[in-house]
């Protein structure tokens, strides 16, 4: 089934100028970038985007990290795009991520783990709408 998912290239990756490398890995995994923009999140945007984690001990650190530099937000499309993206991203903790995944090969740490990906169809729809309107998504 063709799906769409929200991907974010996080500040540790934009800082190290490895967006192209990450996008290549996504493309090689069968995903297509159908909308994309480089933005600097506000504190409110970061807090709202990650509000599901607001009770987590790492929430503050995560939000500070996410506003520490620009991010690239993008909509990915493909067969089973949500799980496909999660697979190529690798485990949240790069030390536990499988070889060949983005986080294993490129992430800095558990917090600075280079990429975000939606984890369900429901969240993908909400997260895509958080950053993009229908007319932004050009295919
Ligand atoms: P994922 O991004 O794999 O879906 P989560 O939704 O659990 O992971 O967490 C969101 C983000 O919060 C992670 O990608 C990572 O940047 C950060 N994070 C998660 N767990 C921790 C932790 N225990 N300590 C610090 N940062 C964390
Ligand atoms: Mg998550």
Instruction: Compute the average pLDDT of residues 82-111.
Output: 98
Instruction: Compute the average pLDDT of residues 59-79.
Output: 98
Nearest ligand for residue 91 CA: 1
Work out the pLDDT band at 93, boundaries 50, 70, 90: very high
C-alpha closest to that of 136 among 35, 33, 40, 37 = 35
- Looking at residue 71, its pLDDT comes to 99
Helices vs. strands in the chain: H and E counts, helices first: 7, 4
Mutate to test the pocket of ligand 1, among 110, 119, 126 (most ligand atoms within 8 A of CB): 110
Instruction: Compute the average pLDDT of residues 72-80.
Output: 98
Residue 116 is a catalytic residue: yes
Q: Give the global pTM.
A: 0.98
79 burial via Cβ count (<10 Å: 0-12, 13-18, 19+)? exposed
**3-class SS of residue 89:** helix
- Looking at residue 39, its pLDDT comes to 98
**Ligand 1 mean position, distance from CA 59 (Å):** 9
**Ligand 1 mean position, distance from CA 138 (Å):** 30
Q: Which helix (H) or strand (E) holds 44?
A: helix 43-49
Is the C-beta atom of 83 inside 6 A of ligand 1? no
Instruction: Give residue-wise pLDDT tens across range 10-64.
Output: 999 999 999 999 999 999 999 999 999 999 999 999 999 999 999 999 999 999 9
């Amino acid at each position: 089934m063709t799906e769409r998912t929200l991907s974010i290239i996080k500040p540790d990756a934009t800082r190290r100028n490895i967006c192209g490398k990450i996008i290549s890995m996504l493309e090689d995994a069968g995903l297509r970038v159908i909308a994309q923009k480089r933005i600097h999140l506000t504190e409110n945007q970061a807090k709202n985007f990650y509000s599901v984690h607001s009770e987590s001990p790492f929430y503050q650190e995560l939000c500070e990290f996410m506003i520490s530099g620009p991010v690239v937000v993008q909509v990915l499309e493909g067969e089973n795009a949500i799980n496909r993206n999660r697979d190529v991203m690798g485990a949240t903790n790069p030390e536990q991520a499988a070889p060949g995944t983005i986080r294993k090969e490129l992430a800095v740490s558990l917090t600075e783990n280079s990429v975000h990906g939606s984890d369900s169809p429901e969240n993908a729809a909400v997260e895509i709408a958080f950053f993009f309107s229908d007319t932004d998504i050009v295919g």
